[in-house]
Chain A
Amino acid sequence: MYNFEFQKPGSIEDAVAALRHEDAMPLGGGQTLLPTMKARLASPTRLVSLGGIPGMKGVSSSGDTLIVKGGTTHAIVAREAGGVFPGLAQLASHIGDAAVRSRGTIGGSLANNDPAACYPAAALGTGATIKTDRREIAADEFFQGMFSTALDEGEIITEVRFPIPQAANYQKFLQPASRFAMVGVFVARFADGVRVAVTGAGNDGVFRWSEAESALSSNFSADALAGLSVSADDMIADIHGSGAYRAHLVKELTGRAVLAAS
């Protein structure tokens, strides 16, 4: 780790101001950023902790929307979202281990947009809205490829608004070493159709599997997927599995998610 300044502002405005310093970065739970800094792969000059800002934490619902504040930990979502949106609580409860869940935040996870992270699948799979200190961004616009998002420098995710589906399920197949998603599929069924978002598999990060969405929208059963296939070309291939394997898992897990959500 290299030396850096540390700041813990008490309001979103102060945080935004602090982030105007060159090479400053927001600090959420630090579960991604701190290991990266320890390995000397990131060297922010200033960390601006979002942990001291009231109103950045908590889960609430309003009508058919679940609102998760940007600094809410995975553990809290796992504990509190279950009543109205069990699929999201289930997803949060399988991120990392207990220590990671007690510190890592939804804002940090979405901002980081790791291609193997879980939350991006839920955000894209429900068509969530990501609210920042300055605007609202639809999930379909937010994710822009591996580790890349629509966020501007110094922009802070303050809350995420999830449309609550009638039924949803997240199937996570573990990458054996990291226990992130080797492939994760989030299926959500709404009155007006089905959304399917896939994480872990795509070279460009999280994506929607539109053929499956239309098939499932007319027939919400695993059988509806029978004739479909995912191209291996755009899939991640690494020492843990080939593109063809990941493409297969996308379909397999989508079927399992549908079964679990039925």
Chain B
Amino acid sequence: MPKDSVIGTSTKRREDKRFITGRGQYTDDIVLKDQTYAAFARSDVAHGKIVSIDTSAAEAMPGVLAVFTGEDFAEVGGNPAGWLIHSRDGTPMTEPKRPVLAHGKVRHVGDAYAAVIAETAEQARDAAEAIDATIEELPAIVDLRQAASDTSNRVHDEVASNVCFDWGWIEDNRAAVDEAIKGAPHVTTLELRNNRLSPNPIEPRCSIGDFNPGTEDYTLYTTSQNPHLTRLLVCAFVMGIPENKLRVVAPDVGGGFGSKIYHYGEEALVLAAAKRIGRPVKWTCSRSEAFLTDAHGRDHVTKIELATDFDGNFIAVRTETFANLGAYLSNFATATPTFLHGTLMAGNYTVPNVYVNVKGVFTNTVPVDAYRGAGRPEATFSLERVIDKCARELGIDPIEIRRKNYIKPHQFPYTTPVALEYDTGDYDAVMDRLEAIADLSGFERRLNDSASRGKLRGLGISSYIEACGIAPSNLVGALGGRVGLYDAATVRVNATGTISVMVGAHSHGQSHETTFPQIVADRLGIDESKIEIVHGDTAKIPFGMGTYGSRSLAVCGSAVVRATEKIIAKAKLIAGHMMEAGDAEVDFEDGVFSVRGTNKNVPFGDVALKAYIPHDFPLDRIEPGLEETAFYDPANFTYPSGCYACEVEVDPGTGKVEVMSFAAADDFGNVINPMVVEGQVHGGIAQGIGQALMENAVYDENGQLLSASYMDYTMPRAYDVPMFKVDHSANTPCTHNPLGVKGCGEAGAIGSPPALVNAVIDALQRAGRSSVTHIDMPLTPSRVWDAIHNS
């Protein structure tokens, strides 16, 4: 390895040059020859029976080329759920079909029941408005608990109940947990709602379908976090296109946060339409459509109980959660509230008894699926809030109660009662770092300063652990996952010594184009600027599973390492041949191959060239070329963890909360590029502040989305967030992947909401509002004021 390792260096993002200068290439920037446009007719009622759809007026409108309805897709497959969940009684979850276009019924506002293809986008939109549908409105099913108990009014008539699954984790723990809680000296109970969120990537979804009748090849350009997964879903489940006949290209993508993991009906529609009319078909989602149709996040109603002794030692945790699934099962919707949530319910703590019950419920709302953090923020929020409440009830300092129950370094690997095996961690060390960077000893002074300005100051603490690096295929398979969750990389050394690395991960804000070359450069001892990352095109990249769940570096990055190791092994063969030595005698260091014990050496570049000019190769031993592929399937999840501290000021006259400071100490294992990691944490915390204080996707009782534009859906802005203090120096490298990395993409969004809510409750408690023990997110001024004044 080179002496000045590029790992751990804040190389500037090479992506930024094209993004900042407007040279990015997003899906909507692609204009194909003879391109046409699609527009959708969408339901404006939440629940209704489709009586008839008259498309004749639309078909006669100028520029209209084709009109589709659900009838056209009645024979093709549905968009499947990626994870089979079994209920407590052993029965499999219900899986109603999710069609390309609604057929028979519409099930949420925005549910598309028809599509128009026209010469221009405006013509398509005009014609979509002219489609005359008779939809008999049915009572909307919106309230989660009510939906769960109502069997007469159902989102899907073909299944017996709105409850998709009733999952227990771990069912064998249940009796012991009940017993432990019954006998516990102290039980803290908290009921809460984890608010529903619109994902809001800055680039709305966009898809272009193209079909070449000459070759019968399809191409789908689309805003996706995982082009291969989209191809697999479209081919194997929805449309039956042979996989070799569909190329999926996800070019520059302007953020996803989970919402672009999934396959959506619009993608299938543009492909089918392109085939029918023989011309490319583009659909660009408007912001209004995005609010109504992008998969939302979170939306849990939870009761959590924490049993302790009087010293605050944890004895048991029990939760009951209703998880909103929306109207259809989105691809990860069943995994998110279950295996990405229930398995984390032990947190960073030694708590001997844990039982989690989750009921997944259909409602007449847009599908709910993974959103930055996916299940883990829900687990962390419930746990860290109830711990805070418990600490207050027992009169124990919030940091002390956490430290008291932390798993200690010597206990790793540590198996939790909810079936994860944490490989490594040092939570006390991370908390030490937090106490230092957050200057907690200065809090009293700041409290007084706030009071002198008439403001109520509060301090909130949280810890989190997450399971990232998703995921070991054998484990997910055993738990009901229908895919493997390895990733893949191909390292191609070009004849002139430059390198192209084709990866299965997709970068849409994660900086892979910058950090992955650092890994290869480090291993090969060559300049990182000579290394290029290729991603987002199934015709170019190996079959990888894409980017989500903080998996890219831990899984795909590990595949890059493995492929690079194969390159070194092959290059040693060639170098040995060049230096007339056996490859076992060849060493590789700092980009130079040498024969041990001699002064013979050849640089990497010469070996690369030789690989492609194999005039004298012993072909029985050495193949020409220098290109290797590796698939990497992780042995375990990775377990990033952290401790966060937030200080707020509450204006008692208006209830407005201002975030005064935010400090985050994280253990991400080894860090490849500190600047990129800090950026991920900043973005995550900003998103967490958004969830805690502002964001709320609200449906009324008729299933109308009240927060369907930025006039009513509040996004955090730069001036809503403070300067962040970030630290990742107390790290414990992951023990089972070659880079020792854990993942950092979701951490900020996981750890920050409970810290912030804890801070607001602390502020109100210090001001004598002792009955305010919880406020549901988002903590808008009106909710905080209500809490102050109704206490």
Tell me the smallest distance from the CB of A117 to a CB of chain B, in Å.
Answer: 13
Residues of B within 8 A of A242 (CB): 782, 786
Assess the B714–A177 pair: CB atoms within 8 A: yes
Q: Cβ of B711 < 8 Å from any Cβ of A?
A: yes
CB < 8 Å A-B pair total? 47
B710, CB-defined interface residue at 8 Å: yes
**Known A-B contacts A239-B698, A245-B786; A176 and B654 likewise in contact (beta carbons under 8 Å):** no
Query: Is B786's CB under 8 angstroms from A239's CB?
Result: no
**B104 at interface by CB-CB < 8 Å:** no
A176 contacts across to B, CB distance below 8 A = 694, 714, 780-781
Query: Are A241 and B782 touching (Cβ within 8 A)?
Result: yes
User: Chain B residues with Cβ under 8 A from A99's Cβ?
Assistant: none
- A245 partner residues in chain B, CB cutoff 8 A: 655, 781-782, 785-786
* Of the residues B653, B656, B706, B710, contact of A239 by C-beta under 8 Å: B706
Rounded to whole Å, the gap between the CB of A252 and the closest CB of chain B is: 5
The answer to whether the Cβ of B132 comes within 8 Å of any Cβ in the partner chain is no
Q: Mark B713-724, 1 if CB is under 8 A from A, else 0.
A: 111000000000
Known: A39-B288, A241-B781, A245-B786. A178 touches B710 (CB 8 A): yes
Taking the nearest CB of chain B, how far is it from the CB of A200, in angstroms?
Answer: 13
Q: Tell me if B696 counts as interface (CB < 8 A to partner A).
A: yes
Is B527 part of the contact surface with A, judged by Cβ < 8 Å?
no
Q: Given A239-B696, A252-B653, A177 and B782 touching (CB < 8 A)?
A: no
Interface string of A227-250 (1 = CB under 8 A from B): 000000000001111100100110
Q: Does B707 contact A (CB under 8 A)?
A: yes
Q: A176-B780, A252-B653 are in contact. Are A239 and B785 (CB under 8 A)?
A: no
Q: How many residues of B contact A (CB 8 A)?
A: 23
- Are B654 and A249 neighbours in the complex by a CB distance under 8 Å? yes
Query: How many Å from the CB of B129 to the closest CB on chain A?
Result: 8
Chain A residues 169-185 with CB under 8 Å of chain B are 173, 176-178, 182
> CA of A40 to CA of B129 in the docked complex: distance in angstroms?
11
A→B interface (CB under 8 Å): 39-40, 173, 176-178, 182, 238-242, 245, 248-249, 252, 256
Give the Cβ gap from A104 to chain B, nearest Cβ, in Å. Answer: 15
Q: Which residues of B contact A (CB under 8 A)?
A: 129, 288, 653-656, 694, 696, 698, 706-707, 710-715, 780-782, 785-786, 789
B654–A240 contact, CB under 8 A?
Answer: no
Interchain CA distance A256-B454 in the complex, whole Å = 13
Question: How many angstroms from the CA of A173 to the CA of B656 in the assembled complex?
Answer: 10
Contact between A239 and B707, CB atoms less than 8 A apart: yes
CB atoms of B654 and A239 under 8 A apart: no
Chain A, residue nearest B693 (CB): A176
Query: Are the CB atoms of B288 and A239 closer together than 8 Å?
Result: no
A252 to B653, CA, bound (A): 7
On whether the beta carbons of B654 and A241 are closer than 8 Å, the reply is no
* Docked complex Cα distance between A66 and B713 (Å): 37
Chain A to chain B contacts (Cβ below 8 Å), 22 pairs: A39-B288, A173-B654, A173-B781, A176-B694, A176-B781, A177-B714, A178-B710, A178-B711, A178-B712, A238-B706, A238-B712, A239-B696, A241-B780, A241-B781, A241-B782, A242-B786, A245-B655, A245-B781, A245-B782, A249-B654, A252-B653, A252-B654
Give the docked Cα–Cα distance between A238 and B694 (Å): 15
Please give, as numbers and ranges, the residues of chain A lying within 8 Å of B129 by CB-CB distance.
40
Q: Distance in Å from the Cβ of B453 to the closest Cβ of chain A?
A: 14
Q: Report Cα–Cα, A45/B786, bound state, in Å.
A: 47
Minimal Cβ-Cβ distance residue in A for B125: A40
Pair A239/B781 contact, Cβ less than 8 Å: no
B contact residues around A178 at 8 Å (CB) = 710-712
Q: Contact at B712–A177, with CB atoms within 8 Å?
A: yes
Which A residue sits closest to B711, measured CB to CB? Answer: A178
Chain B contacts of A182 at CB under 8 A? Answer: 781
A240-B780, A241-B780, A242-B782 known; A177 and B288 CB under 8 Å?
A: no
Task: Please give 7 more A-B residue pairs, beta carbons under 8 A apart, in addition to A176-B694, A177-B710, A239-B712.
Answer: A39-B288, A176-B714, A177-B712, A177-B713, A178-B711, A239-B698, A242-B782
Question: Closest chain B residue to A183 by CB distance?
Answer: B654
Nearest B-chain residue to A3, judged by Cβ: B122
Cα–Cα distance between A248 and B782 once the two chains are bound (Å): 10
In the bound complex, how far is the Cα of B785 from the Cα of A178, in angstroms?
20
A240 near B711 (CB under 8 angstroms)? no
Contacts of B707 in A (CB 8 A): 177, 239
- Bound together, the chains give a CA A256 to CA B696 distance in angstroms of 29
Given the complex of chains A and B, what is the CA–CA distance between A74 and B707 in angstroms?
28
A176 and B783 CA atoms in complex are apart in Å by 13
CA distance A249 to B712 in the complex (A): 19
Alpha-carbon separation in the docked complex, A182 to B255 (Å): 31
With A239-B707, A241-B780 known as contacts, the answer to whether A248 contacts B714 (CB < 8 A) is no
> Whole-angstrom distance from the CB of B303 to the nearest CB of chain A?
24
A175 to B420, CA, bound (A): 44
Which of A173, A182, A239, A249 has its CB near the most chain B CB atoms (within 10 A)? Answer: A239
Distance in angstroms from B712 CB to nearest chain A CB is: 5
- Which of B707, B714, B786 has the most A CB atoms < 10 Å from its CB? B714
Bound-state Cα–Cα, A249 to B656, Å = 11
Among B129, B653, B698, the one with the most A-chain Cβ atoms within 10 Å of its Cβ is B653
Residues in A whose Cβ lies below 8 Å from that of B782: 240-242, 245
Report Cα–Cα, A159/B654, bound state, in Å: 35
Q: In the complex, what distance in Å separates the CA atom of A176 from the CA atom of B782?
A: 10
* Complex alpha-carbon distance, A178 and B694, angstroms: 12
| Set of chain B residues within 8 Å of A252, measured between Cβ atoms | 653-654
Docked complex Cα distance between A252 and B707 (Å):
27
Cα A58 to Cα B431 in complex, Å, equals 60
| Cβ-closest 3 pairs across A and B | A241-B782, A177-B714, A245-B782
Q: Which residues of A contact B706 (CB under 8 A)?
A: 238-239
* Chain A minimum-CB-distance residue to B707: A239
Q: Which of B706, B785, B789 has the most CB of A within 10 A?
A: B785
**Nearest CB in chain B: distance from A207 CB, A:** 20
Chain B residues lying within 8 Å of A40, measured Cβ to Cβ, are 129
Closest B residue to A177 using CB positions: B714
Complex contacts, A256 vs chain B, CB 8 Å: 653
Flag if A177 contacts B711 (CB, 8 Å).
yes
In the complex the two chains form, what is the Cα distance from A238 to B712 in whole Å?
10
State A252–B698 Cα separation when bound (angstroms): 28
On chain A, the residues within 8 Å of B713 by CB distance are: 177
Residues of A within 8 A of B715 (CB): 177
- In angstroms, Cα B656 to Cα A176, docked, is 10
Q: How far is the CB of B292 from chain A (nearest CB, A)?
A: 13
Interchain CA distance A47-B50 in the complex, whole Å: 39
